[in-house]
């Protein structure tokens, strides 16, 4: 017979066997109940968070009320007072360290003749299901921020082509207060994704303990059930703001249910409320979004007399970690070999940075941002420099130079002067001048090597004449020799060159103008 009431003795048997560690299948066979029926009663027991010792002391009437009755309307004054207590204290559960047990202790303190703990838990679960509160009780204040992109896109007018261009929409929401941040951005690339996350943290005025992204490539480069591989830049961003990255599990929508709900609300309160006229830029679109976002965060929850903003100001704002003084700078990576002149080349800028002389010929890793260049060897930071974007120039820390430590490597001034002397005295003098023009001789080693390499390529005589001509011009670097040889200027004698006369022109001042 369907829906036949269970005997309390059999119910006690089910609960006792489960508390003794028996499986649901064994309990089903022992009691003659279906597995679904057993599962239903055990789910109620789990929700009550009680023990067999406490349940065994209950009367059959109390047991029937806890396990067999459907949710009822408020029937007596004690239950009415309990529901008022739940409503008044629901936000208290958002505070760190507050549990339902703690809430029951506060209830018993204020209501001496109130319900027992098991009954309190039971009515709390019934009230929670019936009330359908808009915020999830399990999220603690200052604990997590959830981030994602909407599947629908917004549009702007491209200023250059005039065509309509689709843009992404980023959404972030704090777990406890549900304060929401929305921003339009051109792409989902890691640069834009980190920028949106960072802007969201500054909108909130602090950072929570953890950030929960979806499994997009900008956050997770390789998904894994147990240990996903994070994007290095996103992980560094989270470290900068003292957050832990907790990627949502693949195919587990409950992990990101909060932000999914925020996306749906964004469609209603932001997407549908934007002006019909398509904005001309992302900045203009974000200005419109900010107005609608403020209205959304200040709108009261359904069935509540407070808004997301009020809830954030009251119980979550003070729990966020303070923001660092500087914003995060996205870092890119490349590998290079430390040259014998104790410098490595940042190829994107064609600029050279020094490393300690002990790392000559070692493979190093360069991490660079807008303003900083860091050089690592086997995960150890060995050099740090401000980023300079001048090509073919050197940034040198004097402490890195071998000459500062009186250590002679294979490359040193004497080595290059001896090589030049073998070609000719004029070349030796010229190489000496190249070495003197640099603040540190090591900075000139590459130039010296390049200049001396012409001896094999064009011959000693042409190199000697090129050095003489470059000295006459007062130019002491590799490119001067290279240009002279490329243009064949070394084939002409400087003394026999005819001086070109200045052409006459009305706009050209005469020789007496400056006297």
Strands (E), 285-339: 332-337
Contact (Cβ atoms closer than 8 angstroms) between residue 169 and residue 149: yes
CA–CA distance, 263 with 172 (Å, rounded to integer): 9
290, 192: one domain = yes
Which element (helix H / strand E) includes 426?
Answer: helix 425-437
DSSP assignment of 202-222: HHHTSB-SEEE--S-TTTEEE
Strands (E), 100-163: 144-149, 154-157
With respect to residue 2, please indicate whether it lies within any of the assigned structural domains. no
Following CA atoms 446, 449, 454, 459 in sequence, which dihedral angle do they give, to the nearest 10 degrees?
Answer: 170
pLDDT in tens, 182-195: 999 988 888 888 88
Q: What residues pair up with 343 in beta bridges, in sequence order?
A: 354
178, 302: one domain = yes
Positive or negative, the CA dihedral 263, 264, 268, 274 is positive
In Å, how far are 37, 208, 225 from 171, measured between CA atoms?
Answer: 42, 16, 24
- Owning domain of residue 117: 77-131
With respect to residue 43, please indicate whether it lies within any of the assigned structural domains. yes
Q: Which of 86, 105, 131 is at the close of a domain?
A: 131
End-to-end CA distance of the chain: 123
187, 300: one domain = yes
271, 165: one domain = yes
Confidence at residue 98, expressed as pLDDT on a 0 to 100 scale:
67
pLDDT in tens, 267-293: 888 888 888 888 888 899 999 999 999
Confidence at residue 498, expressed as pLDDT on a 0 to 100 scale:
45
Q: Which of 319, 353, 369 is at the close of a domain?
A: 319
With respect to residue 111, please indicate whether it lies within any of the assigned structural domains. yes
Confidence at residue 286, expressed as pLDDT on a 0 to 100 scale:
92
CATH of the domain at 186: 3.30.420.10
Q: Which of 319, 348, 379 is at the close of a domain?
A: 319
With respect to residue 216, please indicate whether it lies within any of the assigned structural domains. yes
With respect to residue 454, please indicate whether it lies within any of the assigned structural domains. yes
With a cut of 50, which residues of the chain have pLDDT below it?
Answer: 1-2, 71-74, 132-137, 404-409, 498-515
With respect to residue 3, please indicate whether it lies within any of the assigned structural domains. no
Q: Nearest to residue 392, comparing CAs of 473, 450, 326, 458?
A: 450
340, 387: one domain = yes
368, 450: one domain = no
Contact (Cβ atoms closer than 8 angstroms) between residue 335 and residue 367: no
Contact (Cβ atoms closer than 8 angstroms) between residue 292 and residue 270: yes
pLDDT in tens, 114-159: 888 888 888 887 777 665 444 444 677 888 889 888 888 899 888 7
Q: Give the chain's domain count.
A: 5
CA–CA distance, 332 with 316 (Å, rounded to integer): 35
CA–CA distance, 105 with 117 (Å, rounded to integer): 9
198, 279: one domain = yes
215, 342: one domain = no
With respect to residue 462, please indicate whether it lies within any of the assigned structural domains. yes
Give SS3 for 90.
Answer: helix
179, 285: one domain = yes
CA–CA distance, 458 with 478 (Å, rounded to integer): 15
238, 155: one domain = yes
Total H helices, total E strands in the chain: 18, 15
CATH of the domain at 33: 1.10.10
44, 103: one domain = no
Contact (Cβ atoms closer than 8 angstroms) between residue 98 and residue 141: no
336, 303: one domain = no
Confidence at residue 170, expressed as pLDDT on a 0 to 100 scale:
92
């Amino acid at each position: 017979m369907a829906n036949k009431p269970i005997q309390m003795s059999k119910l006690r048997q089910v609960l006792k066997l489960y508390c003794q560690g028996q499986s649901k299948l064994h309990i089903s066979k022992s009691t003659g109940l279906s597995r679904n029926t057993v599962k239903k009663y055990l789910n109620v027991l789990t929700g009550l968070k009680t023990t067999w010792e406490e349940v065994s002391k209950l009367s059959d009437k109390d047991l029937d009320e806890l396990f067999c009755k459907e949710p009822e309307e408020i029937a007596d004054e004690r239950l009415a007072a309990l529901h008022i207590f739940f409503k008044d204290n629901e936000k208290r559960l958002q505070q760190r360290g507050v549990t339902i047990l703690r809430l029951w202790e506060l209830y018993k303190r204020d209501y001496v003749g109130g319900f027992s703990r098991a009954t309190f838990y039971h009515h709390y679960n019934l009230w929670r299901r019936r009330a359908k509160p808009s915020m999830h009780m399990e999220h603690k204040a200052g604990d997590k921020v959830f981030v994602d992109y909407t599947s629908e896109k917004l549009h702007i007018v491209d200023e250059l082509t005039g065509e309509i261009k689709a843009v992404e929409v980023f959404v972030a929401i704090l777990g406890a207060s549900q304060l929401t941040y929305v921003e339009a951005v051109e792409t989902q690339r890691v640069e834009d994704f980190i920028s949106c996350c960072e802007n969201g943290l500054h909108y909130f005025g602090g950072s929570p303990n953890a950030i929960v992204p979806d499994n997009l490539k900008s956050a997770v480069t390789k998904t894994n059930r147990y240990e996903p591989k994070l994007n290095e830049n996103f992980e560094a961003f989270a470290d900068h703001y003292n957050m832990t990255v907790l990627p949502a599990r693949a195919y587990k929508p409950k992990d990101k249910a909060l932000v999914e709900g925020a996306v749906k609300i964004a469609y209603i309160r932001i997407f549908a409320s934007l002006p019909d006229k398509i904005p001309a830029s992302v900045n203009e679109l974000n200005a419109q979004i900010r107005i609608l976002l403020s209205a959304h965060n200040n709108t009261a929850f359904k069935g509540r007399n407070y808004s997301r903003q009020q809830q954030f100001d009251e119980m979550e704002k003070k729990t966020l970690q303070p923001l660092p003084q500087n914003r995060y700078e996205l870092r890119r990576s490349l590998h290079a070999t430390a040259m014998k002149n104790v410098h490595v080349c940042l190829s994107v800028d064609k600029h050279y940075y020094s490393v300690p002389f002990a790392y000559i010929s070692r493979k190093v890793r360069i991490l660079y941002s807008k303003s900083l260049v860091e050089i690592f060897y086997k995960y150890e930071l060995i050099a740090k420099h401000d980023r300079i974007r001048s090509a073919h120039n050197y940034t040198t820390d004097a402490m890195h130079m071998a000459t500062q430590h009186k250590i002679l490597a294979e490359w040193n001034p004497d080595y290059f002067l001896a090589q030049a002397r073998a070609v000719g005295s004029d070349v030796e003098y010229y190489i000496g001048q190249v070495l003197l023009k640099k603040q540190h001789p090591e900075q000139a080693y590459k130039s010296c090597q390049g200049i001396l390499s012409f001896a094999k390529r064009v011959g000693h005589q042409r190199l000697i004449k090129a050095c003489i001509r470059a000295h006459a011009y007062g130019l002491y670097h590799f490119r001067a020799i290279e240009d002279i040889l490329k243009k064949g200027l070394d084939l002409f004698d400087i003394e026999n060159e005819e001086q070109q006369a200045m052409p006459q022109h009305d706009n050209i001042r005469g020789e007496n103008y400056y006297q």
